[in-house]
Structure 1
Amino acid sequence: MRVSRPAVAGLLSVGLFTGLVTGCGTAPDRAPVFDAPASVEPTPTPGRPAPTERLDVDTRTLDLARGDRPLPVSVWYPVDSDGPFPVVLFSHGLGGEPADYRAVLTEWAAAGFVVAAPTYPFTSEGSGGNALDVLNQPADASYVLDELLALDELDGDEFAGRLDVERVAAAGHSAGGITTVGMFTVARDERLDAGVVLAGSAIGVGTAFSGAAAPQLFIHGELDEVVSYASGKAAYDRVPWPKAMLSLPDGDHGQSLLRPGNAAYDIVLDTSTEFLRWTLYGDPGARDRLAADVPAGVAVFDDQL
């Protein structure tokens, strides 16, 4: 979803996506969706301290492809700092691209994370926006993680020894939020320790959360006219693990969530960053700051972590 365009609601039609999904017997390259119990384990174990100062950030592009599916990856990462750094896989929305989210992704990297954002072949800007192909994207995202994490052991690569391959999260906005949910349901990637779902839902990927417990943070505007707040809340309600939902009473689908210069942006950025610090670094101070960073009257934080 390109959050920078005024016609944001026209880029992702939930009705169209729902029709495409329900019009097919099964999702491409996916097993049938069903609900199954998920194991519940303790919350994140303590790790090394998260950086306390903002780190300098650089970018890199990885030229990847999964078969005939090109997947160029934009990576934001800390420079001139000791690692290893936890990894966050970020998925863009329908008709979007990673650069649309550079403000948030840069700040996550500056907080001590390597953030990798693939450009999906059939849902990105200029691709035609095939909503049904979202169902193939969890597998794309896992492939990107395969290739990225392998660089930690590649002699001579700038990421060698700098990636914490044992601490990995997935995040995404809109259709990318659906992709993220899919990585915990129909295409469970067991490497994932946490998820951040921005204005997303479980449309097409179901709520069969499985595997080891992975805390989830849902963020959704209550005035979202593209992916309804109710559909996001329904997915959140089915998460069987530690979870939290940041609800923005005046928030829309993307403009107020992800663009600097509005009241919601700082709340979304601060809450998501502290959540990642807690889940991937095991920083108990970040856990304590989650609720404290949510101002009354602007957002509501349902804390089940």
Structure 2
Amino acid sequence: MGIRQRFAASTVALLLVWLTGCASPGEPPGRPVPTRAAPQVQYAVGVRDFVVDPDSARPLPVTLWYPTQDAQVAEGRFPVVLYSHGLGSLPELHAGLTTRWAAAGFVVAAPAYPHTRRGAAQFSRADVRHQPADGWRVIRYLVRLDRRAADPLAGHLDVQRVAAAGHSAGGFTTSGMFTSGRPARLRAGIVIAGGGMAGSFAEPPAPMLFVHGTADSVVPLSVGRAAYRRTTGPASFLSLVGQGHGEYLTPGRPGFAQVLGSTTDFLRWTLYGDQQAARRLPTHAHLPGTTTFETRLPSHPPPP
């Protein structure tokens, strides 16, 4: 194990103390982050499409991937991951990653944003600033869906354990959801080839994982690094050496296994409270010559 990897592993151990010994956002001080057994099986994956607020000025088509067993929704309650696409993209173009998260025991909801998705009638990159609010609309919809007794997903969505993740403009969208006063249900974020937005990474702190290619010419590495430095909670940075804006998100490409392994470990840790996943994270993230991985302690952690 190299010096950088040893540093990451030891720092993650300290972050475990921070995460499990202190209150999570919105919870009374001193209450540990709740833990549950993370699934030890790989599920089959179901897919469902629906539209949030179809009659509004901003209807949101959403693709939902979820764990199944015997062609039905799997038994249990599964944490939710909101996944945001980049400019000119679509949810299904990220299925290589999102379906694997669903197979690991998460419900993944991916909206197609009205003015930045591929084929948008009125495309506008400036509309990204409105997308964090769209993300919250999706989460509120899922809260209602979980209570809808006649729906097959009712009772299977753990809407108190939500993470936000996204690529490129979707990474900025993700950062923009971590503003002051956000609901406590949003517990962690994954920013892939993105950066921060105004007001992002506000208190209370939340664990964040950044993923970025060191040769990204669309969103330079410096932008991701600046966002990483702004965070006040536990934060980790996975660098894809010599890679660009997102080729590492394609199954079979160099770095994909490390991105999948580290993001899945991160989600298991932050949404299930799986400490073994946190300890595995540096190992799953590291491949000499392909990735580097580092973890930073909170700049001012809350009192135990």
Same fold, TM exceeding 0.5? yes
Partner Cα separation in structure 1 for residue 43 and residue 159 of structure 2: 20
How big is the shift at 1:262?
Answer: 1.3
Secondary structure of 2:87's match?
coil
Task: State which of 272, 291, 295 in structure 1 corresponds to 2:263.
Answer: 272
Task: State which of 102, 123, 128 in structure 2 corresponds to 1:129.
Answer: 123
Partner Cα separation in structure 2 for residue 91 and residue 186 of structure 1: 20
* Paired amino acid for 1:238: R
Gap runs ≥5 in structure 2: 1-20, 25-31, 298-304
**Within-5 A mapping of 1:83-232:** 83-127=76-120, 128-185=122-179, 188-202=182-196, 205-206=197-198, 208-232=200-224
Secondary structure of 1:69's match?
coil
Contact 1:92-1:175 at 8 Å conserved across structures: yes
Contact 2:177-2:200 at 8 Å conserved across structures: no
* Paired amino acid for 2:57: D
Match of 1:77 in 2: 66
Contact 1:94-1:129 at 8 Å conserved across structures: no
Match of 1:55 in 2: 43
Total equivalences in the alignment: 263
Task: State which of 258, 263, 278 in structure 2 corresponds to 1:287.
Answer: 278
- TM-score normalised to the size of structure 2? 0.82
Partner Cα separation in structure 1 for residue 233 and residue 22 of structure 2: 8
Does the alignment pair 1:64 with 2:56? no
* Paired amino acid for 2:283: A
Match of 2:10 in 1: none
Contact 1:89-1:115 at 8 Å conserved across structures: yes
Match of 1:247 in 2: 239
**Within-5 A mapping of 1:24-35:** none
How big is the shift at 1:194?
Answer: 0.1
Structural RMSD (CA): 1.8
Partner Cα separation in structure 1 for residue 123 and residue 171 of structure 2: 16
Q: What's the % identity of the aligned pairs?
A: 48
* Paired amino acid for 1:140: D
**Within-5 A mapping of 1:30-49:** 41-42=22-23, 45-49=33-37
* Paired amino acid for 1:285: Q
Gap runs ≥5 in structure 1: 1-39
Secondary structure of 1:244's match?
strand
Secondary structure of 1:266's match?
helix
Contact 1:180-1:197 at 8 Å conserved across structures: yes
Q: Which runs of 4+ in 1 moved over 4 A?
A: 40-44
